[in-house]
A and B are shown apart, each in its own frame.
Chain A
Amino acid sequence: EAGVAQSPRYKIIEKRQSVAFWCNPISGHATLYWYQQILGQGPKLLIQFQNNGVVDDSQLPKDRFSAERLKGVDSTLKIQPAKLEDSAVYLCASSFINEQFFGPGTRLTVL
């Protein structure tokens, strides 16, 4: 079965610019997650979707981050405007029941 797909794999932008990441989960997985992994740390949840509804966005910096999953399948995460501290790997994961499957991530560098 195909895994979680993410694009782009790498992105370099300057601070105050905007950026968007895309994720396509494993087919049939209703739950989708976006995590932020800063270098040297474990991943931290940004947002969890169940189908096209938001279940948990308590740790999403909503003044600059937004995410959507309009048709309950693929999802986009946007940062506008980016700050230096947003440099991280952004991981998308999907799950059917308990086990989460992760994509390869998008490495964002903000200069």
Chain B
Amino acid sequence: AQSVAQPEDQVNVAEGNPLTVKCTYSVSGNPYLFWYVQYPNRGLQFLLKYITGDNLVKGSYGFEAEFNKSQTSFHLKKPSALVSDSALYFCAVRDMGRGTGRRALTFGSGTRLQVQP
């Protein structure tokens, strides 16, 4: 079974400061990892993904994430936070699969990011 842990319910950061939202995962095989953002009354918006290759992945809106296989982590980062980054962030994982065709994502419980002016 696959699982995702987001240990922080909320992260507070001042505008202009760097931010990190933590995520650790567990899968039986090699992982596909994703970050999504959710604004109020809206669906999930894709930020970035790790499939293979470079451990540092760059995504939308200046976000990036670092894949660390030994620590089974995929933390989301941004060098300089904006007030408009305030939202709910979800980390998700799926196993690369064994030919079953199952591609559903397993999501963490979410981390609310609050950026203060």
Contacts and interface: CB of A to CB of B under 8 A. Distances in A.
Chain B interface residue number, banded: 20 to 34
A41 B110 contact: yes
A30 B12 CA distance: 39
B37 to A, nearest CB: 11
B43 A44 contact: no
Interface in A24-67: 31, 33, 40-45, 48, 50, 55-56
Chain A interface residue number, banded: 20 to 34
Contacts of A33: 104
Nearest to A3: B43
A1 to B, nearest CB: 14
Contacts of B67: none
B51 A104 contact: no
Instruction: Tell which of B34, B45, B103 has the most Cβ of chain A within 10 Å.
Output: B103
B108 A42 contact: yes
Interface of A: 4, 31, 33, 40-45, 48, 50, 55-56, 91, 93, 95, 98-105, 107
Interface of B: 4, 32, 34, 36, 41-46, 49, 51, 90, 92, 100-110
Given A33-B104, A41-B109, A43-B44, 13 more contacts: A41-B110, A42-B4, A42-B109, A43-B90, A45-B105, A50-B101, A55-B103, A93-B44, A98-B51, A98-B103, A99-B46, A100-B46, A104-B42
